[in-house]
Amino acid sequence: MIHIVTGILLPETFLESRFFIILASLVALNTTIFAALSIVKAFPKFVRKSTYRPGNYRRETRSIYPDSAD
């Protein structure tokens, strides 16, 4: 019978080492941050009503004919 290695099994002492615990914590934190950022990016942008001006509203005209009635 042929024995096929399907993965690498790490020793228990390495999995309980301080290095591996810190590495796993950083990976979990990084994954959580990127998941939160991707969820936030899926929602539409929030715009406050006090700073929102609909259309092409300007306080002053920028036309080459500033005195026109438009």
Rounded to two decimals, what is the model's pTM? 0.52
- pLDDT confidence of residue 8: 77
pLDDT, residue 54, reads 62
User: What DSSP line would sit under 24-60, residue for residue?
Assistant: HHHHHHHHHHHHHHHHHHHSPPP--TTT---TT--SS
Query: Can you tell me which residue has the tokens 């002492």?
Result: 13
By residue range, what is the domain housing residue 37? 12-42
Query: Would residue 6 count as lying in a domain?
Result: no
Q: Let me know if residue 30 belongs to a domain.
A: yes
Task: Check: CB of residue 24 under 8 Å from CB of residue 31.
Answer: no
Count the domains in the chain: 1
pLDDT for position 23: 97
pLDDT in tens, the chain (70 residues): 777 766 678 888 888 999 999 999 999 999 999 999 999 999 888 766 656 556 666 677 777 877 766 5
CB 24 within 8 A of CB 30: no
Evaluate whether residue 16 is within a structural domain: yes
